[in-house]
Amino acid sequence: MKLLKIAWRNLWRNRKRTLITIASVFFGVLWAVALSSLQTGSFDNMVDNMVSFTTGYAQIQNIDYKDNKSLNNGFIPDEELYNFLDNNEFISKYTSRLSTFSLIATGEKSYGTAVIGVNFENEDKISKLSQWIIQGSYSGDDPGGVLLGELLANKLEVNTGDTIILIGQGYHGVQVAGLFAVRGLLKFPISELNRQILYMDIGTAGDFFQVPGTVTSLILMVEKPGTLTALMKSLEQIDNPEFVYLRWEDLQPQLVQLIDGKTSSGKIFIIILFIIIAFGILGTFIMMIAERERELGIMIAIGMNRLWLSLILFLESLLIAATGVFFSFIFCIPLVNYFVRNPIKIGGEMGELYGEMGFEPVLIFSNEIHIFLNPAISIFIISIVIAIYPLISVIRLKAVNALRA
Amino acid sequence: MSIIKISNLTKVYDGSANEIVAVNNLNLEFEKGEFAAIVGPSGSGKTTLLNMIGGLDRPTSGEVNIDGQDIWRLSSRKLTDFRLKNIGFVFQSYNLIPVLTAGENTEFIMQLQGKPRNERSRRIKELLEAVGIADREKSRPNKLSGGQQQRVAVARALASKPTFILADEPTANLDSKSTETLLEIMELLNKTEDVTFIFSTHDARVVKKARRVITLVDGKVESDVSK
Ligand SMILES: Nc1ncnc2c1ncn2[C@@H]1O[C@H](COP(=O)(O)OP(=O)(O)O)[C@@H](O)[C@H]1O
Ligand SMILES: [Mg+2]
């Protein structure tokens, strides 16, 4: 159509100005994509680290466990449930845990500690628990061996090979006590954990607490965070009113808060960036219309409908946006994909700091579709909103005045 | 039969200090096929009159009847459409859309009218030949001389097959050679296309070509002479 041709040619009447405006869109989109790619990538990675380390992406629990984390509110998974988990396409790994509290003692000292019954082999595949071993061995032949947090062991003055006593409450409050050999010590990057944690085999724990076969939660992992919603949907097929299915967001609200806080500061930055771009485009339009007043007057005089005339100006705005976004994508998409495949390694002190915190010292990028779509959509919305200015100018334009100018 | 009938037409501009009566209670009629010049000193109301006839400037009072229709009773949208279908315009200068070639400028108005492609291209050829710049069809206005630009403007004005063409000082920025050429072209098209021309001027050589000369002074008709 002729209108598009006129719009396109109009853009190149002041080549330099148009190029500068397009460049501002180009850099704006580039910046926004880079920022949100890095942000999404590192948050996904952080979440992956955090949830692997702690809650998993999702959990199956007894419906009562959520409010009362007692052994009494565990459940015994049946063969059917395991089959379901084994065959679920979204689940990459899963494991079971039995969590409770107990008193841990040696001769004269005693402290409270968390006791977590795990399947050592499966647990390691998910939380890589073995990486924190600083003494002794992660797995062993003795089903009765336990792993202790380093600080807890220090307080109790025990080492690998020593024996500790656990005194706790089993099923329905029954008193239980037993002797366990310390197989190894763990040192986590979070000292709070080191102070009060004990791992033992989940079978041993079940027997000890008189809840054989019981788990308090099933920990589920997905390959890609994006498939979590699909997984949650598929869990509904289990159709057991006893169960509740929780996402990591439910299990770790602090993590959600942390990410939301960081994301919103990133968003504010991008919003400011786009406001600057918007004013740049608007400025271009104000100048363009001022320069073309006579010409617009002539078009109206010879019988061009004002709406069509506005459409030309609207198309000009859209074309600036589209050209900027187009070149930005040509540049960004391969770049982001390259960095997704080749994360940037952080060296030096910064890298060490990351390592100590238990994170990989790399900048991870993401290429999820929204990273590209959001800035593009924002730019198009901006260009549409800005087109209101020429629309109003054209509707208000008095052909006689424009012609006399 | 007259195609344009102006009755008691008045235009008053509100100046900040005083009112300016640009056109003062004017009565005029134009027949089909006329080749009429409106002359008068600068400020006598020529442009204002043409703009009111052309549906561009709203009269303070009075009527402009074209084919029996009082055009100033039309809605703004209908009036735009009326201009598109019935009136051709040639302005003093910078008439053309700069980003369109001579051919496209001529075609543009036919596209607005929704004429089919083959009819458009036939008419472009015909008109550009008539105004003597068929070889510059692909040139943009900035590559054309002032005289050539005005000839394209005449071609564009004719493209819509209007009832009449209003030309406000079409030769004001042209040298005498170009002025003569443009006038000859307009004269010829007035006959071959059977279209009415009403043009304003204060150039004596242009006045000589006109078959009717209306002289305005202070917004009033001082004389109206037909040859
Ligand atoms: N928009 C306007 N506002 C105020 N006065 C105007 C305006 N346009 C024209 N005039 C006045 O109206 C009178 C007629 O002007 P115009 O029609 O341009 O005359 P001409 O075309 O014969 O030179 C002049 O006195 C001019 O100053
Ligand atoms: Mg004038």
Band (pLDDT 50/70/90 cuts) for residue A358 is low
Q: How many CA atoms does the CB half-sphere of B74 hold within 13 Å? A: 18
Closest residue on chain A to B92 (Cα)? A403
Q: Which of B56, B88, B112 comes nearest A400 by C-beta?
A: B56
Nearest to A7 by CA among A324, A309, A381, A365: A309
Q: Is A319 helix (H, G, I), strand (E, B) or coil?
A: helix
pLDDT in tens, A182-207: 999 999 887 788 899 999 999 999 99
CA distance B17 to chain A (A): 20
Distance CA B149, CA B127 (A): 14
Q: Which two tokens stand for residue A210?
A: 């008189």
Q: Which two tokens stand for residue A48?
A: 């992956």
Q: Whose CA is nearest to atom 3 of ligand 1?
A: B13
Q: Tell me the one-letter amino acid at A299.
A: M
**By CB neighbour count within 10 A (0-12 exposed, 13-18 middle, 19+ buried), where does A232 fall?**
middle
Which residues in chain B show pLDDT less than 70?
Answer: none
User: Which positions ≥6 away from A273 have C-beta within 8 Å?
Assistant: A28, A31, A32
Distance CA B60, CA B57 (A): 9
B23 Cβ inside 6 Å of ligand 1 = no
Q: Where are the beta strands (DSSP E) in chain B?
A: 2-14, 19-31, 35-39, 61-66, 69-70, 87-90, 164-168, 196-201, 212-217, 220-226
Between the CA of residue A101 and those of A167, A188, B148, B195, what are the distances in Å?
10, 19, 97, 103
How many residues are given for chain B?
227
Cα A381 to chain centroid distance, Å, stands at 26
Band (pLDDT 50/70/90 cuts) for residue A140 is confident
Q: Check: pTM over 0.95? Answer yes or no.
A: no
**Average pLDDT rounded to a whole number, residues A339-347:** 88
pLDDT in tens, B123-165: 999 999 999 999 999 999 999 999 999 999 999 999 989 999 9
B74 Cβ inside 6 Å of ligand 1 = no
Please say if the pLDDT value at position A361 is more than 80: no
Q: Who has greater pLDDT, B158 or A261?
A: B158
Band (pLDDT 50/70/90 cuts) for residue A357 is low
Distance CA A388, CA B210 (A): 47
Distance CA A196, CA A176 (A): 19
Distance CA B107, CA B112 (A): 9
pLDDT at A51: 86
Q: What's the CATH number for B2-226?
A: 3.40.50.300
Distance CA A48, CA A255 (A): 11
Cβ atoms A273, A7 nearer than 8 A? no
**Does B54 sit within 8 Å of A6, measured CB to CB?**
no
Q: Which two tokens stand for residue A68?
A: 């009362």
pLDDT at A43: 86
Residues of B in contact with A301 (CB under 8 A): 54, 56, 83, 89, 91
CA distance A273 to chain B (A): 33
Q: Which two tokens stand for residue B172?
A: 């004001």
Distance CA B197, CA B200 (A): 10
Q: Where are the domains of chain B?
A: 2-226
Q: How many CA atoms does the CB half-sphere of A282 hold within 13 Å? A: 12
Q: Which two tokens stand for residue A358?
A: 């238990």
Q: How large is the greatest C-alpha to C-alpha distance in chain A, in angstroms? A: 104
